[in-house]
Structure formats: structure tokens, C-alpha cells
Structure 1
Amino acid sequence: MNPDPAFPPENDASFQAFIRLCAEKGLSSRPRGIEDCDRCDGLSDYTTLLRFLIARKNDPKAAVGQLQQSVDFRQDRDILRLYDVVDTEDFEQARRFYPHWTGRRNKQGLPICYFDISQLHKNALNSWEESRKSAGWSISEYEAGGSPRPDMLQMASVFHDSLVRFVLPLCTMMTDRSNASTPVSSSIYLVDASELGLKQGWNLKTFAQEISWLLSTCYPETILKVFVCNAPSYFATVWKYLKKWVDPNTAEKIEVLSSNEVSDALKEHIDDANIPTAFGGAFEFTHGSLPSPDQNILDRLSWESSNQTLPSGPLKFSQDGDGKLTAVAVGALQGAKRNEVIATID
């Protein structure tokens, strides 16, 4: 049996061996910390397991080891519990630190994420460094009535969970793709490097190390391509320094584009209507903005509100006994835990 159409048939034996090992160690069962109605998308579904196997070159034992490390991290840092109660302001602050979904997709239906590297300025990086000294958020302190604050690595994980638990599944549900039977498991990154300074580049070492570790360990193969756009002439010097701190698999996916190369390169992969104006397209999107879904996504969802907008904070999918899928906004808004139905989908 080939459980995932994206998986090459010749590697079925590796996948089946991997699935058996996952079952033996309880890694393919429902994770602790999610609600009974929560979908397992991005956590223990076949598509997620497959990403770990591909990342380890179809080596079942190595893939199980990496998956176990990812599960242990989530459990040790209470990531799944934090996802449901995190303050939406903290979540939105995290949005400014990492590539975030624009609401648009490329020509193959993969989500497009945007990031302006100038946002990693001295003050932002100092905040990151300070958070590394804190004890972070814990469910025990939270349930005891305390008000623990998550550290930056916890927030990075919660934020990237929103990609694998909501954005990728949503894009998978879209039927306007050329290969709608293949799950969407990765995204395209557009990085604006026009304001990158030499000194800023040298200050990114610790940040690059920790985020690279998190992405390669817990979110392998979620990036298909990274376009570094409007790169200054000295970018090669900065990249030569930073590259040693970036996961090699991710580094191979990076394509550096000067300002006069950006438009033509992006239009090969993305329709003009979905390319941000910063890169010569028609889509008005700025760093830190909430997603602005394309019309096909808007039409695919049955919205609870006529506004047809995705709110701030973390989102996830739940499923009732009849199989009905619901997009739910969670997290805490002004101190009150949120569980708001945004839309339903067939």
C-alpha cells in the first residue's frame, strides 16, 4: 500500500518499515496535549511522518530518531498545550520574527510565506537573547494560576505549528491545484534582503543557529524553495558567514536574486496577482500583515462572518463525528481563552 500519493512507489518498503517503528514507539498515535476533536495534521499524520523519512534519506531508523526528538521537544516545552492558550499578542509578535503566510499560493498551490530581513534589527535580536534566559512557559505554572511567558524558542515552535497544523492542511484541501490528490507539505519563502546591513548579518549567528535547529529537527522538508530577493551586492559575503549555521538541506534550497532578477524569476513560479509589490507584483502585502487569502480559498470555506478574514493568533482544524471540518481560532484574547469557529469546509 502506498498511503501517500507523493511518495515514490519504489520506497514503499522504507515507508512501511518506518510506520511500523513509529507504531512501536507510539509516534503515530494521537499526541498528548491536543483536544479530542483536533485533527492530527502536522503532528502524526502520514504526510508529516513522510517528511521526516524524506529528510533522513529514507532511512527508517534515522527518521524515527529525529521524529522522537521532535516529539520530546514538543512535550518538554508544552508546545501543544501552549498553542491553545497562547496570548494572541505574543503570537503576533512572533509573526514579525519569521516568514509568515501571505494568504496566497504559487502556481502549484503551495503557500507563499513572506519575510523582511530588516525586521531582525538589533532591538529585536536583543529581545530574542533576553528570552533565552527565562524559564519559559509551563502548563503546570499556568494551571496553578500563574502567568508564565513563553520564551522565543517556544513561540517559534508555536508559530511554525500554525503552518503545519492550519496553513498546509488548508492548501491541501484546495481542489484548484494541478495535482489535487497530492498533499501540500511544503511552502515557498520570499525574503526581502534589500535592507540587510553588513553588521546586522554578523549579529544573526545565534538566531540563525537556533531557528535552523528547530526547523530541521521539528519541521523538516516544510520549505521547498527560499527566494532571497533584492539581495545587496555584499550579500555573498554575509551568506558565506551565515551559511555554516544553517541546516545544509535548507541552504541548498536558497536562491539569491538581485533586484533586476527578482521579477522574472518569481513569475516563473507565482502569478503576478500573488507576488508582493516589493518584488514587482500586484499583491499589496507588507511584513507582519495577516494573511489575505486568494479568492479560491475564500470561496472554498463556508465563513461564519461576512468579513471572510482570518483573525490574529493561532488557528487549527477540528473534526466532529460526522466528519465536518471546522477552522477554529484559539489562543487567549485579552486574557480570555478563545475557541471561535471561523469557517467550515466540506
Structure 2
Amino acid sequence: MADLKRVESFQYPSGHYSHLSENQQVQLDEFKKICEQAGYYTPPNLFSGAPASHDDETLLRFLRARRFVPQEAFKQFKDTEDWRKDQGLDELFNTIEVEEFEQTRRLYPQWLGRRDKRGIPLFLFEVAPLNSKNISAYEKELAKARTTSPKAATKNLRLFALYESLTRFVLPLCSAIDRKHPETPVSQSNNIVDISGVGLKQFWNLKNHMQDASQLATAHYPETLDRIFIIGAPAFFPTVWGWIKRWFDPITVSKIFILSPSNVYPTLSQYIDPENIPKKYGGELDFEFGNMPNLEPEIEAAIQWENPSTQKGKNTLPIGPIRWEDGENGVIKAVAVGSEKGEPRRKTIFTIPNPVLPKVIGPAVVNTPVDEAELAMLGVGTDTQPPDTDENNLDIMTPPSDTPTPSATPAPESQATSSTTPATSTTASRAESRADKRDETALPLREGTSDTRYEQQHMTHASGQLSDGTPHAAVNDHGHGDKTVTMEPSTVGQAPKDVSVKPEEPPAPGYIDQAKQVAAQATAAVSSTVGTAASTVTSLVSGSGEKSEEKAEEKTPKRVKSPEEKELDRKIDEQDEPSVEGFLRQQNTSKVEA
């Protein structure tokens, strides 16, 4: 079971309406004065019965976020009020397309229809369905959205509507149902976040998705989160926690509890009754991610249905936004709003005849201290989180690589002493755990059947490494302290694979290219022939040809004929032209016979 300790913080109901210290009440009164003087707050009218422009619990959310410093709380409160007016959130919530609201609801934490032991609503968020395929399909739907605004991206508008649904419907509903502290409105939520089956790449791809929601809550919906229980953390989670937690502000990080498989039900059952815990986590609640709320019996007993939807044979809420309106004789009505294919929707879903609501007009409430035993189980999430890594070497902007590199893979010696394990208690216990891990890596010498002692093998599968000559691919260092172990069994002991990329050869020429090449060659041949002929004709016409022949003859030395050759020439010259051929034949025949 996770070791949870009480922490001096503003955990519900401490620091909330009717449970303020003397100093906190003084700061609340000062905060109201500052807001009223600036025109951002109107106090209740005791004569007309008009309520205040903002209830005390809403103002306290901003004060708690700023540690009860009125000036700092006012700055954030003013920025939020200006932002709400600029974005037109009232109109957005009343007119958003119902189907578009539902598409977005399925990608974020979903209300179970249940509360914890203190009356705080429970939300479930399964991360695995948010894969690249579903996110891509959702982004395509955003391009076809009816609800748009020139002042904000469509996906942000839908996220605004979800937070409005939390503060305008879910939290007021839980505040109207009986609980241990009915005098204190419910202004926070608990979240079970299931990350089972989520890979490293999916975590990184969801960075913006998670940051958008966290930053919006921190800026304009402060102190709406009580705590987060993370379930199903994969083996590599401790190594990536260093950069995941930097997606959120420090206060949010302190509310995150990371539960091991053996701690899931024992820890959840401390805060939640078994009938309100989903079956997959050891409880009794029939709920699947994507369902509409499965309302608890206490809520069912307090409401009167008028136009419910049904789910698995049981009444439930319809899709789309729902807001509260005052009825007669103190009755409050849950009215479905929004638009259906451009047509306004307005339908009363149920009423609450006798809501449990705090007194908003009349004498100031008397603050009462919170029982120490009630706060004994309150803790801080950092007690269940992995130890911090070296912040100076963290790069939270570069996505982790899925392939190892030589520089990112440590040598066997450094790998032998490295270990990452989640800590579940104090810093001292973390240090002891790390010391134990280092001791475990100091393997003893192995003994054979005789007295001969053998040194422990290295660079083998037995010690967690590949054999000599193989890259250190067994350990992949993705940065930020993120290391995973991978290995191809069929390559143990083999030399490194040749993974070089051969240069691409140019494609063979097609018929058209071949024809162009032949035509070009023919053209070149014709041009060469014509040029040679032209040169020859020009030379003949100009007489340069004869001169060239004369020069060639001059350069060639004349051979001196022998006396026999001269005598033969003389005889040939004496013969008549027709007799020359016969004379030559006779001469050749005589030589052969001789």
C-alpha cells in the first residue's frame, strides 16, 4: 500500500468554504474588496435577495492557487474574467453542437457518475484508446465542425466546453447531494488515469493533448483537481517520468499518485467505497471507458427524472452540455442545452426538489476546524513517484528516439551498475533502494564442479549483454534517463548487420528516351559528315587541297630505287599499254618458278 502522509496543504475540506483559518478568512475578505473596487465582483444584496456575482468557493479556488495572497489571486482572477468574456464562454456552452461535445468528451477524463468518500466526483481516463488513428480521425472531424470561433482553435473551444461542464454541472450536482460536509461546496475532482498498454511513442505524441488541458486548468480553472491516481504504469515509466512531469505545473505534479499493481485497490479503497470503484480495478462498479455516467444510488434518490437517456437498461444523462436553472420553491433543474445540427436544444432532464446547498445570503458563515483524523490519510503524490533525474541533462523538447545510437548506448561496464526503480516512500528509502540495486549487480564468482573458480562471464546474454563484436543494442538510451532493453534472439553472438543504404541506380531508359538517344546520335553523325564534306569542298575550291598534298609530299622523304627497279621501270615504259599487264604477269611467274 502506498505510504501516504498528511501534508500541510489545502486539501478538501481544509482551506475551503466554512473551514478557513482566521488568517484565510481575512485574506478572503480583502480579496473581495479588491475585486469589487476593480469592478470584477458584486456582493450579495440583502434587500433584494440577489446573490453575489461569484460564490465564495469560486473565489477561494483562486486564493488557494495563489497561497492566499489577495493581490496575486486578483491578477489571475481578472485575467480569467477577461478571457471568459473575450471567448464568449456563456454562449459557447449554450450553443455548442451536441455531437461535437460528445466527440471531445470521449478523448478526456469521463465522470463515472460516482463520488469518493468525501463527496468529490470521480473521473476515469484511459489513455490507450488515444492512439494515432483515433486522434487523426478526431482532427479530421475538427475540420468539419459547426462550432468555430476566430478567436480560438476549434479543439480549444471544445476543451473550454468540457471544463465549463465540470464547473457548471458536475461539481454543483455533487454539491447538491448529501455528504459529510454539506456546508462546503464541492469544487474539485478525483481522476483515475489508466496508462496500461501505452508505449513510449504514444506518450510523446500525446504531449500536446495533455499539456493543453493542464495549462488551461492552471490558468483559468485553478484548484479543480484534488488528486490523480496513475494505474498500469509500464516498466519504462520511471525513466520517462522525468520529462512527463515537466508537462505540468509543480502543484499538479504534487497531486499525482503512481500506484503499483499491488497498491491499486488498497489505495483506491482508502478514498473510494468499493461499489464506486470500477470492476477492472478490483471494485464493484460496472463502467467502461466511453460510457455515460452510471449514477450512484444516493444521486438517483435525490433527483426526479423527466427526460432521461438510457444505458444498459438504466437511466442516465444525455450527451452534450447540461446547465442548472432555479425552479420554484427552491427546486433546481438540470437543463440540456447546446445545438443539434444547428437547432437549439433546451430540455429539462431532471430536477432536485431538496438540494443540499450552502447558504449564500445572510450572516457570515462560522468557520469550523477540520477533524485531524479526517486529514490523517491526506498525502502528497511525490511520495509515490520515481526519484528525480539530473535536471541539467533533460531535454523535454526533443522526442525520444526508438532506435539506439552508439553514443546513446552505454558500455557494458556502465550498464551493469545502472538501475531504475520507482520509490514509494521518503528520499532516504529511495537511497537505500538504489544501494540495494547496486549490491544486486555485484554478481559473485561462479563455481564449477571442482575447486576451480571461474570469473563471471561478460558480454553474454547471461549478463544481459550481447556477445563480443555485436553493437550494444540491448540497452537503448532515449534521453532524459529513459532506457529500454531490447534484443533480437536470432542475432545473439553475430557480427553487426550491414544496414548501410546502397545508392539508388538510375532507372532504365524507356522507349521514348531510347528513341531520343538514337535520334541524337544520328543527328551528331550527320552533322559530322556534312561538316567534313563541306571542309573538303572548300579546300578544293580554294586550292588549299593541292597545297596540302604538296606539303605532305615535301614532308615525306623519297626512297632511292635500286638498279634492278630502275631497269624494270625502263622495260615497262618500252611496252605498249595493252602489253604491260602481260609483261608483269610474266615477270611474277618467273619469280615463283625460280
| TM-score w.r.t. length of structure 2 | 0.51
| 8 Å CA contact retained: 2:63, 2:73 | yes
Q: Is 1:168 the counterpart of 2:175 in the alignment?
A: no
Corresponding residue of 2:109: 99
Shift, 1:253, TM fit: 0.2
| 8 Å CA contact retained: 2:324, 2:335 | yes
Shift, 1:319, TM fit: 1.1
Distance 1:252-1:158 versus aligned 2 partners, 3 A rule: same
- Identity across aligned pairs (percent)? 36
Q: How many residues align?
A: 325
Corresponding residue of 1:267: 269
Corresponding residue of 1:208: 210
Corresponding residue of 1:341: 348
Shift, 1:135, TM fit: 12
Output the CA distance in 2 between the equivalents of 1:124 and 1:69.
34
Distance 1:47-1:85 versus aligned 2 partners, 3 A rule: same
Output the CA distance in 1 between the equivalents of 2:16 and 2:284.
39
User: Aligned letter for 2:196?
Assistant: S
Q: Is 1:12 the counterpart of 2:15 in the alignment?
A: no
Output the CA distance in 2 between the equivalents of 1:93 and 1:327.
22
Output the CA distance in 2 between the equivalents of 1:24 and 1:311.
42
User: Aligned letter for 1:333?
Assistant: E
Shift, 1:313, TM fit: 0.6
| 8 Å CA contact retained: 1:116, 1:192 | yes
Give the 5 Å matches for 1:1-346.
4-29=17-42, 44-126=54-136, 137-138=148-149, 151-175=154-178, 177-305=179-307, 308-320=315-327, 322-345=329-352, 346=354
Where structure 2 has 5 or more consecutive residues not aligned to the other structure, the ranges are 1-14, 44-50, 355-594
Q: Per-residue CA shift, 1:104-154, capped at 9, x if unaligned?
A: 01111110011001133224445677869x99723xx8xxxxxx9961111
| 8 Å CA contact retained: 1:202, 1:238 | no
Shift, 1:207, TM fit: 2.3
SS at match of 1:208: helix
Instruction: Provide runs of 4+ in structure 1 moved above 3 Å.
Output: 123-132, 305-308, 320-323
Shift, 1:8, TM fit: 2.8
Output the CA distance in 2 between the equivalents of 1:305 and 1:91.
19
SS at match of 1:118: coil
Q: Per-residue CA shift, 1:87-114, capped at 9, x if unaligned?
A: 1111111112211211001111110011
Output the CA distance in 2 between the equivalents of 1:231 and 1:179.
34
User: Aligned letter for 2:156?
Assistant: L
Output the CA distance in 1 between the equivalents of 2:71 and 2:331.
36
User: Aligned letter for 2:154?
Assistant: D
Shift, 1:335, TM fit: 3.0
Q: Per-residue CA shift, 1:184-221, capped at 9, x if unaligned?
A: 11111001111211111122222233222101011111
User: Aligned letter for 1:217?
Assistant: A
Distance 1:72-1:295 versus aligned 2 partners, 3 A rule: same
Distance 1:309-1:206 versus aligned 2 partners, 3 A rule: closer
Shift, 1:9, TM fit: 3.1
| TM-score w.r.t. length of structure 1 | 0.86
Distance 1:163-1:120 versus aligned 2 partners, 3 A rule: same
Greater Cα shift, 48-57 or 257-266: 257-266
Where structure 1 has 5 or more consecutive residues not aligned to the other structure, the ranges are 31-38, 142-147
How much is the aligned-residue C-alpha RMSD, in angstroms?
2.7
Distance 1:318-1:150 versus aligned 2 partners, 3 A rule: farther
Distance 1:105-1:135 versus aligned 2 partners, 3 A rule: closer
Output the CA distance in 1 between the equivalents of 2:126 and 2:16.
38
Output the CA distance in 2 between the equivalents of 1:119 and 1:271.
27
